[in-house]
Structure 1
Amino acid sequence: MPGTRKLGKPTDQRMAMLRSMVTTLLEKGRLETTITRAKEVAPLTEKMITLGKSRSLAAYRQAISFLTKEDVAKRLFAEVAPGYSERNGGYTRITRLGPRRGDAAEMAVIELVK
């Protein structure tokens, strides 16, 4: 479990949302969300990239069981993770954007480090 933030959702809905956000981040490389959600997504994304670096069948199956799209898992193991082979952690960056208009929630951009 990444953290203790409940994000106002039951466990099943929260994990489904986080899985979807990690999949989108790995697919597009960038995601705009609230700061608290970004802080929960970052460790999960880093874990998926670490799995991709190991390049084993067991790691691939574990990644597929977490990610919501199989083609994103294939891309993770083929393109994304090999790009971080020389780097030990710190694959994501969170940048604050400011308050969201409407409810003033603190917004952030989470992106993969190049």
Structure 2
Amino acid sequence: MPKPTKGPRLGGGPAHERLLLANLAAALFTHERIQTTETKAKRLRPIAERLITFAKRGDLHARRRVLGTIGDKGVVHKLFTEIAPQVADREGGYTRIIKTGFRKGDNAPMAVIELVLEPVSKKPASSKKSAARAETKVAPVEETQAEETTEVEETEVVEDADAAQADAEVAEVEAVEAEEAAEAPAEDDKK
């Protein structure tokens, strides 16, 4: 069940409010940006976003549902053919409300409501997740028997590995070398 709105209706009666919001929605889809009072803009937002969601579906039933709210076939055609493809990748938030100050005559708070038609930019993967993936992909270093020579074996550094993976490999090699160095005097004592 829809949550009832607080305060008096916009226009007097419920039918007048429905018509007022339908006309505001038609003007928004025609001009893509309208200036109205802040209260009307806030009440218009859910209606406009629901109509855009219907337009994104694009089937005949959705077109008839939108025509039930907006009677102008030209506006509905523009909504389905021009606006819906522009917001196809967007998962919501099709409108933006910007407060513009107060009206000169009656000091009513004014706002601009506009369609958000910019393409959606995907967020890059966070560095913490990519570092965690790199740590899981590090191959374990094979342990070799320590020889009596004091030469240090150098490991090949893979050029493709990113910095985090290379640092992890260097740390593992140093740990292996430290273990070998600790084992070497113990073996000398046994002889």
TM-score (norm 1): 0.94
1:20 and 1:68 in contact (8 A); partners too: no
Residues 1:60 and 2:57 are matched in the alignment: no
1:34 and 1:106 in contact (8 A); partners too: yes
Deviation at 1:2, TM superposition (A): 8.1
Residues 1:106 and 2:109 are matched in the alignment: yes
Correspondence list, 1:59-98, <5 A: 59-98=62-101
Question: Residue deviations 1:36-63, cap 9 Å, x none?
Answer: 0000011111011100000111000111
Secondary structure of 1:104's counterpart equals coil
Question: Residue deviations 1:86-113, cap 9 Å, x none?
Answer: 0000000000011111110000000001
2-structure distance, mates of 1:10, 1:38: 18
Q: Which of the two has higher C-alpha Rg?
A: 2
Residues 1:36 and 2:43 are matched in the alignment: no
1-structure distance, mates of 2:90, 2:60: 22
CA-based RMSD of the aligned residues comes to: 1.4
2-structure distance, mates of 1:2, 1:112: 25
Stretches of structure 1 lacking an aligned partner (at least 5 in a row): none
Correspondence list, 1:10-49, <5 A: 10-49=13-52
Partner letter of residue 5 of structure 2? Answer: T
2:11 and 2:20 in contact (8 A); partners too: no
2-structure distance, mates of 1:15, 1:109: 20
1-structure distance, mates of 2:3, 2:91: 19
Stretches of structure 2 lacking an aligned partner (at least 5 in a row): 118-191
Give the length in aligned residue pairs: 114
Q: Percent identity?
A: 39
2-structure distance, mates of 1:9, 1:69: 24
2-structure distance, mates of 1:20, 1:2: 22
1-structure distance, mates of 2:111, 2:25: 15
2-structure distance, mates of 1:82, 1:12: 31
2-structure distance, mates of 1:45, 1:2: 17
Structure 1 runs (4+) deviating above 3 angstroms are none
Greater strand share, 1 or 2?
1
Deviation at 1:7, TM superposition (A): 2.1
Between 1 and 2, higher relative CO (CA 8 Å, sep ≥ 6) is seen in 1
